[in-house]
Amino acid sequence: MSAVIEIAGLHKTFHTLRQGRRTAVDGFDLLVESGQVHGFLGPNGSGKTTTLRALLGLVRADGGRMSVLGAESPGRLPEVAGRVGAIVESPQFFANFTARRTLRLLALAGGVPTTRVDAVLEQVGLRDRGDERVRGYSLGMKQRLAVASALLKNPELLILDEPANGLDPAGIREMRDLMRSLAAAGVTVLLSSHILAEIQLICDHVTIISRGRRVAHGRVDEVLAGFDQHEWRVGVAEPERAAELLARAGVSVTVHPDHLLVAGVDDAEVISRTLGEQGLWVRELVPLRPDLESVFLELTGDAPHPALPRQVDGTAPDDMVIDLDVRESREVGA
């Protein structure tokens, strides 16, 4: 696997008259390898768009090294620009043009054969709606048109900022199928999102960003496995006695009104055997696997505070701020 995107130690601070200094990206690292559908996940305001803009030379970085398809960015970007399709700022299309006309014009301007237009309309699921004016498009249809425009030049690398924004669940599933078919055809995809379910559904790899820093990265299943506490929900008669037996067998257990919570057990047999040997029969034994949402909330400190509205950049009261260095040490994969 070769590196398609490499970012090391990226820094970007914005200076505004009203707000003063705001560090958007704070020593961020990213590695995307060939053939991946790589999710770039983080809460609102965590630095995703700024990172992608810096990578594509749309904003000047303050520090760090970046490369795209082996070419240093931004200096040598023009050498590889023809092999990269990117949608970072939501593109504005002429409302009075049809999608087909829009794509034809973009193809002509980009030196792409106009025969690609039908192919990309088909690919993004707009084949039958391509002759309608963009004015009448839903947000999700505009997103698809944006993806179509990025696919025109048949890129090796596709970079999409929040491509599933505005898509309904069926649309997200179609987007996943589209991304997978592109990956199968050898296209590497990097897509950002603040919506976990999208990433878990669409991507095979993920990099999680919080407050401008990488807090986890790796294969989606490995990132999840890294947070697996090997917990089980156990339903059994006489929970108090069951808990005592399990504790005596060296298992960590907590008693809840209608079930036990057992942690640190790899093999469910340990639980059922320990209890069964003493005549206690397990009627429920459910593994509690982490989902990306719980991992994300834990890593980004973005869990809602009971008394306070959640702030866009995940700002939490002082006692809730998570030590990112500690979290980074839990990451898996390299």
Ligand X SMILES: Nc1ncnc2c1ncn2[C@@H]1O[C@H](COP(=O)(O)OP(=O)(O)OP(=O)(O)O)[C@@H](O)[C@H]1O
Minimum CB separation of residue 162 from ligand X in Å reads 6
- Residue 214 CB, nearest approach to ligand X (Å): 13
Question: Is residue 49 at the binding interface for Mg ion, with CB under 5 A as the rule?
Answer: yes
CB of 5 to ligand X, least distance (A): 16
By Cβ distance, which residue is nearest to Mg ion? 49
17/21 Cα distance (integer angstroms): 9
Residues in the chain: 334
44 binds, among ligand X, Mg ion, none (CB under 5 to 8 A by kind): ligand X
Amino acid at residue number 1: M
Please state, in angstroms and rounded to a whole number, the distance separating the CA atoms of residues 120 and 65. Answer: 33
The yes or no reply on residue 46 touching Mg ion (CB under 5 A) is no
- Take residue 81 and report the two structure tokens written for it: 């620009």
- Binding partner selected for residue 47 from ligand X, Mg ion, none, CB under the kind-specific 5 to 8 Å limit: ligand X
Give whichever of 187 and 208 is closer to ligand X, judged by the CB atom.
208
76: amino acid identity, one letter: R
Q: Is 11 in the site for ligand X (CB under 6 A)?
A: no
Residue with Cβ nearer Mg ion (89 or 118): 89
Where in 234-293 is the site for Mg ion (CB under 5 A)?
none
Closest CA to 252 of 280, 229, 227, 228: 229
Q: Give residues 169-208 in contact with ligand X (rule: CB under 6 A).
A: 194
H-helix or E-strand containing 230?
none
Could you say which of 46, 143, 149, 274 contacts ligand X (CB under 6 A)?
A: 46
Which of the ranges 27-35, 42-50, 79-87, 128-136 carries the binding residues for Mg ion, by CB under 5 A? Answer: 42-50
Task: Kindly tell me which residue out of 24, 203, 253, 316 binds ligand X, with binding defined by CB under 6 A.
Answer: 24
Candidates 40-48, 169-177, 283-291, 325-333: pick the segment binding Mg ion (CB under 5 A).
Answer: 40-48
Q: Which does 24 bind (CB under 5 to 8 A by kind): ligand X, Mg ion, none?
A: ligand X
Q: Which two tokens stand for residue 127?
A: 């084949």
Give residues with Cβ within 8 angstroms of 145, minimum separation 6: 93, 99, 102, 103, 124, 126, 134, 137
Site membership for ligand X, residue 163 (CB under 6 A): no
Q: Is 16 in the site for ligand X (CB under 6 A)?
A: yes
Restricted to residues 313-332, the positions that interact with ligand X (CB under 6 A) are 313
Please choose, out of 46-54, 113-121, 226-234, 241-249, the segment that lies near Mg ion by the rule CB under 5 A: 46-54
CB-side exposure of 132: number of CA atoms within 13 Å? 12
Q: 99 φ, ψ to 5°?
A: -60, -40
Torsion of CA 24, 27, 31, 32, to 10 degrees: 10
Query: Among 43-51, 145-153, 228-236, 271-279, which window interacts with ligand X (CB under 6 A)?
Result: 43-51
Q: CB of 32: closest distance to Mg ion in angstroms?
A: 18
Nearest approach in angstroms of CB 241 to Mg ion is 54
Cα–Cα distance for residue pair 217/223, rounded to 1 Å: 7
Tell me which of ligand X, Mg ion, none is bound by residue 181, counting a contact when its beta carbon lies within the kind-specific cut-off of 5 to 8 angstroms.
none
Rg value, the chain, Cα:
24
Distance (Å) of CA 51 to CA 9, 12, 40, 189, 191: 11, 8, 10, 15, 12
Report the C-alpha gap between 195 and 206 in whole angstroms: 12
* Cα-to-chain-centroid distance, residue 48: 10
Q: Rule CB under 6 A: choose which of 9, 11, 22, 33 binds ligand X.
A: 22
Residues 326 and 156: their CA atoms lie apart, in Å, by 36
Q: Which residues bind Mg ion (CB under 5 A)?
A: 48-49
Binding site for ligand X (CB under 6 A): 14, 16, 22, 24, 42, 44-50, 194, 313
